[in-house]
């Protein structure tokens, strides 16, 4: 679905507070990335350094460090678990996060350890439009035609 000009694919779960998404794969792993809105408010990505494989994380802990236009920031994981894979493309092409946030720009694959518990903070389905729109409006952006 599109909300205020930003894509929010229906199959994903969103941690709107941190502008992150999670995709549960058939393998049981959870693919994690930054939402298109999160990319928009962050600016250009010049570096992405995800946590290494086998790192165990709780929801809200740092899953990656990214370098933006004028800052280095931490990215928080929307789900608890063990990092099983990092996106190898981001080492040489961190701009993929901007170009394909829901495709080639994913950050890590996590083996979830508290999926059912973590879902309490994630939005999906019918609850998403109102919550996402409220979150985006907190940034005081101009969402008029062509300015989002």
What CATH number does residue 107 fall under? 2.40.50.100
Q: Is residue 138 part of a domain?
A: no
Domain of residue 124 covers 8-128
3-state secondary structure of 76: strand
Number of separate domains in the chain? 1
Q: Is residue 3 part of a domain?
A: no
Distances from the Cα of 55 to the Cα of 61, 143, 146, angstroms? 11, 39, 41
C-alpha dihedral, 38 to 39 to 42 to 44, nearest 10°? 170
Q: Is residue 2 part of a domain?
A: no
Q: Is residue 40 part of a domain?
A: yes
Q: Give tens-digit pLDDT for 66-75.
A: 999 889 999 9
Report the distance separating Cα 78 and Cα 70, nearest Å.
25
Q: Are 66 and 91 in contact (CB under 8 A)?
A: no
Q: Radius of gyration of the chain from Cα atoms? A: 14
Q: Is residue 75 part of a domain?
A: yes
Distances from the Cα of 141 to the Cα of 5, 39, 146, angstroms? 12, 14, 12
Q: Give tens-digit pLDDT for 12-63.
A: 999 999 999 999 999 999 999 999 999 999 989 999 999 999 999 999 999 9
Q: Are 74 and 62 in contact (CB under 8 A)?
A: yes
Q: Is residue 100 part of a domain?
A: yes
Q: Is residue 139 part of a domain?
A: no
């Amino acid at each position: 679905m599109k909300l205020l000009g930003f894509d929010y694919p229906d199959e994903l779960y969103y941690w709107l507070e941190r502008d992150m998404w999670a995709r549960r794969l058939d393998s049981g792993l959870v693919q994690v990335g930054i939402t298109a809105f999160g990319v928009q408010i962050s600016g250009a990505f010049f570096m992405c350094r995800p946590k290494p494989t086998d790192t165990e994380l709780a929801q809200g802990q740092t899953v990656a460090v990214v370098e933006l236009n004028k800052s280095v920031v931490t990215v928080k994981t929307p789900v608890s678990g063990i990092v099983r894979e990092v996106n190898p493309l981001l080492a040489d092409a961190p701009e993929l996060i901007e170009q394909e946030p829901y495709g080639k720009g994913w950050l890590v694959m996590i083996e979830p350890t508290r999926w059912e518990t973590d879902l309490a903070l994630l939005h999906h389905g019918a609850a998403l439009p109102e919550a996402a729109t409220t979150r985006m409006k907190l940034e005081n952006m101009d969402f008029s035609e062509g300015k989002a």
